[in-house]
Structure 1
Amino acid sequence: MGQTSLPNMDIDSWRERSAEEVNFWENWIFTEGSRWPQEYKRRTDPTTPMAKEVENFLDGLGLPADRTVKILDIGAGPLSFIGTNSEKYTIDLTVVDPLAEEYNRLLDQKNVTGVPRPERGYFETATTQFGAEAFDLVWSRNSLDHALDPVLGLFNLLNVCRIGGGLLLSFHPNEAEGGNYAGLHQWNLDYRDGEVVLSQKDRMVSLMPLLQQQKIVSISQPEKTQKKAGKGRVNIKVEKIVECNLSQCLIA
């Protein structure tokens, strides 16, 4: 397959494809969740407790409860899923999405207040925006495969996490294949044969060299029946133990 058969992955092409994503979230906001009303309630309620998977991960990292925990939710959409209320931790949550301006306009129209709003930012420029080792925990849920450059994006997710902190990466397998490469679904993430892989059309690369620079705490894989149905979720927990070096990963 020639290079010209691959989709254009420049910023202008990404912006053109993003209209479908904005339309989805516009419907979600103005219908108060569409088919997922409980998720809308969770994201718009200032009293929502922090997601258990996040709190349990913080516990496992050994973060003391007497300090403020800085969390980055990147590719969050209009509102974070994490929740900011915890009996153990004081949470300083930064919410980031490339389409933040569009989402904030919709949230203003709906008069959504009291919860963290997204600021504009990209996976590919996160280190420039926030600096290295800026967060105790980085969360990316159903979003890295929407990036322009997911390998660079993953590097930045790890880079903005401090040593001793963690990355929580969650995704549905093979979203681009399942969605016929429509909208922002231009990349596939999957966990197969013990490896986390990124693919586009018939090209594939393993993300394990980058992940294995750090301590992989766990990788959960959806059941085969879920995977065949296009459902299920891969959840990856990584503890950062060294500074990231993308070149060493690529030549390993």
Structure 2
Amino acid sequence: MDNCYGEYIDKWLSGIYAEILFWKEYIEERGGIYTNEYGRITQKDAGFVLEEDIPDEKKGMIYQFADVGSGPFSNCGFVSGKVKLNMVAIDPLAEVYKLLKEKNNLDNDVLLQTGFVEALDSQYPENSFDMVHMSNSLDHSFDVIMGIYQLLYICKIGGKVILRHAENEAENEGYQGFHQWNLSLKNPENSFIVWREGIRIDVPEIFQEYADIELYCGKGECPFNKVVFTKRKPVKIPDNKYREILFTKVYSFLIRNMMSQISMENGRKNLKTEIAQEINKINASPAGFRGQLKDRNIKDVAIYGMGIIGEQIYDLLIGNGIQVNAIIDVRKITKNGIRSIPLEEYADTDKVSVIIVCIAGDADEVIDQMVRCGINEDKIVKAIDFVKGGY
């Protein structure tokens, strides 16, 4: 693992900009298409979602809780009916989130502190918290195993470390940006496995000495897998070779480069909002849009990019009787039986009337790449032009 460490850091750094930009737009748009979720995670009296994991013997006591990799808000809630919850949210991008929230006059009373999961022992004493939690974020780390050592270190003996993550998220996201590790419960070993190409680690084999470990596979309305470590004894952290890099290269890059780039985005019109507004107009009076589709003989479509914009365009097409025949995306995605394919595997045929580019970034660069791959440029249209009829 040591030999690959520089590669993991570089990949993580390459994803910071997209992560900050996502949260910038999310906060400025008050959740955008995630309005219901936004209302829940920003309210100051949101109920604590891990209530059932608090032991009954702690009822009425002060309960120290840390949410690591929390994002700007934490999605755990703040109000417990069992205990007096004392919460801290820890994230490598905490300083950025503070600035974004301050600029947008948004405060949900969460105490944000800057910290890396691989180096928590440099900030918090051993046995500091009754419960330590990570949700959909441990897979973003440089070193997952070091991260778990650290989480257990700052957890009290008898306390719990709770991990909630999607199955194999790095695979799902094509190892892009922050997504560098797969966390799996659904595997031949019937264990908690951390893996990527060339590396496969059985986590309970390492940590069963220190904690009782319970595994819960996600299903139904709770799609995230859940792993609960109940700490039995003190944890000896292995030598941490990465501390100097974490607090020099990474943090310096974050502050000096990312914030300057984010400030340049202030004058950019929000493409996602503009597309959403155009789609709302179409849905309110669809006859004109359907007429344009008929006039142009558009019956079958391919979508490039199945993020927020891609989902909106997909729903618009299906709702107006247009068949989506292909999804082009670096990630492995299945949408209503259609499996995504990377651009280099897409074969341009006459079966598709138009290919809609559904990304918020540099669409022109993507279109150039598509043309170099042999796709007829006359078939390619940007999502914003498609919904405005300018194609």
* C-alpha deviation, 1:88, in angstroms: 2.0
Corresponding letter in the other structure for 2:201: V
**Please, which of 211, 230, 235 is the counterpart of residue 239 of structure 1?**
230
Q: How do 1:1-252 residues align onto structure 2 when only pairs under 5 Å count?
A: 8-10=7-9, 14-51=12-49, 54-59=50-55, 62-191=56-185, 192=187, 193-213=189-209, 214-216=211-213, 218-223=214-219, 232-245=223-236
Task: Return the structure number with greater relative CO, CA threshold 8 A, min gap 6.
Answer: 1
CA distance in structure 2 between the aligned counterparts of 1:220 and 1:47, rounded to whole angstroms = 28
For the aligned residue pairs, the C-alpha RMSD in angstroms reads 2.1
Corresponding letter in the other structure for 1:167: V
Contact 1:100 1:118 in 2 (8 A): yes
Contact 2:12 2:140 in 1 (8 A): no
CA distance in structure 2 between the aligned counterparts of 1:176 and 1:34, rounded to whole angstroms = 25
* TM-score, normalization by structure 2: 0.56
Deviation per residue, 1:66-105 (Å, 9 max, x gap): 3210000000011111111122211100100001111111
Provide structure 2 residue ranges, at least 5 long, that are not aligned to the other structure.
Answer: 239-391
Deviation per residue, 1:179-208 (Å, 9 max, x gap): 111110111111123211111223211111
Higher normalized helix content (fraction of residues)? 2
| Runs of 4+ deviating beyond 3 Å | none
Corresponding letter in the other structure for 1:203: I
Contact 1:210 1:246 in 2 (8 A): no
* C-alpha deviation, 1:117, in angstroms: 3.6
* C-alpha deviation, 1:49, in angstroms: 1.4
| 2:7 partner SS | coil
Contact 1:78 1:117 in 2 (8 A): no
Deviation per residue, 1:197-233 (Å, 9 max, x gap): 11122321111123422112x311135xx8xxxx931
CA distance in structure 2 between the aligned counterparts of 1:71 and 1:14, rounded to whole angstroms = 26
Percent identical pairs in the alignment equals: 27
* C-alpha deviation, 1:15, in angstroms: 2.8
- The 10-residue stretch of structure 1 (169-178 or 200-209) with the greater mean CA deviation from structure 2: 200-209
Provide structure 1 residue ranges, at least 5 long, that are not aligned to the other structure.
Answer: 248-252
CA distance in structure 1 between the aligned counterparts of 2:138 and 2:57, rounded to whole angstroms = 26
CA distance in structure 1 between the aligned counterparts of 2:22 and 2:108, rounded to whole angstroms = 23
Corresponding letter in the other structure for 1:185: H
CA distance in structure 1 between the aligned counterparts of 2:63 and 2:180, rounded to whole angstroms = 33
Corresponding letter in the other structure for 2:226: N
- The 10-residue stretch of structure 1 (171-180 or 28-37) with the greater mean CA deviation from structure 2: 28-37
* C-alpha deviation, 1:116, in angstroms: 0.8
CA distance in structure 1 between the aligned counterparts of 2:82 and 2:216, rounded to whole angstroms = 26
Give aligned pairs, total.
232
| 1:8 partner SS | helix
* TM-score, normalization by structure 1: 0.85
Corresponding letter in the other structure for 2:13: R
Deviation per residue, 1:152-202 (Å, 9 max, x gap): 001101111000111110001111111111110111111123211111223
Contact 2:63 2:85 in 1 (8 A): yes
CA 1:188–1:33 in 2, change beyond 3 Å: closer, same or farther? same
* C-alpha deviation, 1:55, in angstroms: 1.1
CA 1:87–1:124 in 2, change beyond 3 Å: closer, same or farther? same
